[in-house]
Amino acid sequence: MRILTVLSSIFLLLSCGRYKDDGLQVTGKIGELLIVADDEIWESPEIKKALDSSMTRFIMPYFPDVSTFELVHRNHTTFDGGIKRHRNVLVINIVPGYGKKTAELNVIKDAWAYDQAIMEINAKDKKQLIDLLKSKTMDKAHDYFDQSEWKRLIARFSEEENSHVQQNVKQTFGIDVQLPDGSGIVSSNKNFYRIEFPPASRPIEFPNIGKQDVGTIWEGVMIYQYDFIDSSQLTLESLLRARDTMLRYNVPHETEGLYMGTQYVKLVYPEMTKTTNVDGSVSGLEMRGMFHFVGKKMHTTGGAFWAFHFVHPRTKKIICISGYVDAPSTTSWTHFLREIQAVWKSVKLV
């Protein structure tokens, strides 16, 4: 039974109402997934719940919660004009004459804009649709949209000018990473770099009030290295000890005596999984968690981090690329964490 099919470019060109317009860029916010469906389908509580469960996941263990996607809606009539170029689109078609026993999920490449992520579901009725939305097939759909987000950012960063920073990183660590335009090295030594991204401003969203003010978001990456001795250094506990040591001596707060540290409370205790860079050439361990500033008994600000650790085969060093986001808790962190993810996913050995 074929559930997931990739349509050919010929089919794309012949499909009614679709075209590939070279040069048009995607629209919409990072972290949005546009659902194109009849109002009756979108407003169905059972379908809405199934869509939320299958397409809205949480990037753990952050607090406040960081979702992979926020679902937004257009019906088939209002899905027109510039909205067709939305970065992530899931089209749901109920086709009464549809003759297959199960609903079908198709991938459509770049139908209305360059580098768009589009999937289409065809089903004969609500039951077929709900069965598909509750199936494991939707894990593949979520992964497709999820990967498209950070891959687009890698492509964008690769087109931007950061040659001075990248050359320094290559010489010191033997790696190359793609960075947002305007990134700069704010501190460095032979084993530690802190690279800051250009400050960003986003509206602060207050519950029941809406977007009222502008808050500054600080983000960047820290790249550090130390000697690899044996595999015992690659446990979560060992990597966290090394992280805290590196941060203590290299990331001081503007208040004397404070420095960046890791939050170890149960709710946001760091998590680690095996993964690779974008092309699979570098295998390592990704770690997600929260940081705050420690060293004195006082309340301090903090934020989220997302790190990637691996052993460099040539230098025999453990390399860590650890991105951080320091942002108001009243605004979504999804965009900024995706940028961090894109940076460490882009790493290549040189």
Q: Is 230 helix (H, G, I), strand (E, B) or coil?
A: coil
Task: Give span(s): CATH 3.40.1000.10, the chain.
Answer: 161-349
**329 or 131, which is more confident?**
131
Strands 259-262 and 283-294: antiparallel
pLDDT in tens, 240-295: 999 999 999 898 766 666 778 999 999 999 999 999 999 999 999 999 999 988 76
Q: What CATH number is given for 4-156 in this structure?
A: 3.30.379
CATH 3.30.379 range(s) for the chain read: 4-156
Query: How many angstroms separate the first and last alpha carbons of the chain?
Result: 44
Percent of the chain at pLDDT exceeding 90: 75
- Answer yes or no: are the C-beta atoms of 217 and 325 closer than 8 Å: yes
Cross-strand bridge partners of residue 276: 283
The answer to whether residue 92 scores a pLDDT higher than 60 is yes
Question: Which of 223, 270, 216 has the alpha carbon at shortest distance from 251?
Answer: 223
Report which of 307, 343, 348, 332 is spatially closest to residue 153, judged by C-alpha positions.
343
Measured distance CA(226)–CA(224) in Å, rounded: 7
What is the pTM for the complete model shown? 0.87
pLDDT digit string (tens) for 17-62? 343 445 688 999 999 999 999 999 999 999 999 999 999 999 999 9
- What is the radius of gyration, based on Cα positions, of the chain? 22
Residue range 198-246, pLDDT digits in tens:
876 444 444 444 444 445 788 999 999 999 999 999 999 999 999 999 9
Q: Domain 161-349 is classified in which CATH homologous superfamily?
A: Mog1/PsbP, alpha/beta/alpha sandwich (3.40.1000.10)
Cα angle 71, 73, 75 (rounded to 5 degrees) comes to: 155
Contact 238, 309 (CB under 8 A): no
Q: Which residues pair with 227 in a beta bridge?
A: 317
Distances (CA, A) of 178 to 164, 306, 320, 322: 12, 16, 15, 14
Contact in structure between 198 and 182 (CB atoms under 8 Å): yes
Concatenated DSSP letters for 1-19? ---EEE--HHHHHHSTT--
In the predicted structure, residue 11 carries a pLDDT above the cut 70: no
